[in-house]
Amino acid sequence: MKMSVIIPCYNAAGTISEQLEALVRQDWEQPWEVIVADNGSTDGTAHIVADYQAKHPNIRLVDASGTQGPSFARNAGVEAAKGELVAFCDADDLISKNWVRKIAEAIEEHGFVASRMGVHPSSDPQAAELKKHRQTTGLIKYTYVPYLSHAGASGLGIRKCIHEEAGGFDERFVYCEDCDYCWKVQLLGHPLQFASEAVIYVRHRETSAGQFRQGRNWGEYSVLLVKSYVPRGMPKPRLRDGLKQWRGLLKKIPKLRQPLHRQKFLWGLGYRVGHLIGTVRFRIVAL
């Protein structure tokens, strides 16, 4: 088995068929498999996957319900994988028609790679515009303090032996697990490369409340990133770093009548609130 494509999922009955259809249409001459790691779905996800499995023997469904969270599901999927190469994609995204071939070629050449992200056709245009800067022309830059680049978990590709060397995804991270994963693999000496020809289309369907909630969750767990990586070379955030972020947020207030600026403000406010929550929860100052 050359490659295993891992799909972590939880209650993905509304979207996973589209992703599986895209996978079964892939054209690659090497032996490869799809592993759907079900994180305890209570809808019809397992039945949908079973229907595909009956027609396509390279699709497997594994029970990944032991611990709630995408990190556990991805790790369970890799543990069951037979391929020497591993690629991750999410159940609500859509891979391009030659993604399997392109991501496999990139992994073989570089060892650790990230796909280019496009916008799923069903995305909310405003949400897509809000996040258009993320991973369309290169890796994602970390801007709180200067540190390593990273990428979203959906679209990552890696040699299985490197994943095992890194200890997989850290299951403490319910959010920001992809950033943590990218950093610890790079610190082991495996640079993250941008695979521009491997494209994955990401679905953006965020309400205003969803923008705030996502920002808050990411902000909270970004404090755990700080706590984990300051001892490993990350510059320690200073008070003025946090105040600079707050000032940038406050500058958006005069533009709140414009929907896009309002969404950016809500996400940023959520992120800053999340930092305050994380400061208390993880016992390290990161404003």
Q: What percent of the chain has pLDDT over 70?
A: 95
Give 235's pLDDT tier (boundaries 50, 70, 90): very high
pLDDT of residue 147: 94
Average pLDDT over residues 18-42: 96
Average pLDDT over residues 271-278: 93
Better pLDDT: 257 or 137:
137
pLDDT of residue 122: 67
Give 172's pLDDT tier (boundaries 50, 70, 90): very high
Give 133's pLDDT tier (boundaries 50, 70, 90): low
Distances (CA, A) of 212 to 109, 208, 209, 250, 262: 39, 6, 5, 15, 11
Range with the poorest average pLDDT among 56-65, 183-192, 266-275: 266-275
Average pLDDT over residues 205-226: 88
- The 3-state secondary structure of the chain reads CCEEEEEEECCCCCCHHHHHHHHHCCCCCCCEEEEEEECCCCCCHHHHHHHHHHHCCCEEEEECCCCCCHHHHHHHHHHHCCCCEEEECCCCCEECCCHHHHHHHHHHHHCEEEEEEEECCCCCHHHHHHCCCCCCCCCECCCCCCCCCECCCCCEEEEHHHHHHHCCCCCCCCCCHHHHHHHHHHHCCCCCEEEEEEEEEECCCCCHHHHHHHHHHHHHHHHHHHHHHHHHCCCCCCHHHHHHHHHHHHCCHHHCCCHHHHHHHHHHHHHHHHHHHHHHHHCCCCC
Average pLDDT over residues 261-287: 88
Average pLDDT over residues 172-198: 97
pLDDT tens-digit readout, 151-164? 999 999 999 999 99
pLDDT of residue 17: 96
* CA-based radius of gyration for the chain: 19
Q: What percent of the chain has pLDDT over 90?
A: 74
pLDDT tens-digit readout, 137-153? 999 999 888 899 999 99
pLDDT of residue 143: 84
Output phi, psi for 107, to 5 deg: -65, -45
* Parallel, antiparallel or unpaired: strands 3-9 and 85-88: parallel
pLDDT of residue 187: 98
pLDDT of residue 131: 60
pTM of the model: 0.92
Give 286's pLDDT tier (boundaries 50, 70, 90): confident
pLDDT tens-digit readout, 55-102? 999 999 999 999 999 999 999 999 999 999 999 999 999 999 999 999
Better pLDDT: 83 or 210:
83
Give 124's pLDDT tier (boundaries 50, 70, 90): low
pLDDT of residue 285: 79
| Residue 123 predicted with pLDDT over 80 | no
| Residue 178 predicted with pLDDT over 80 | yes
pLDDT of residue 125: 64
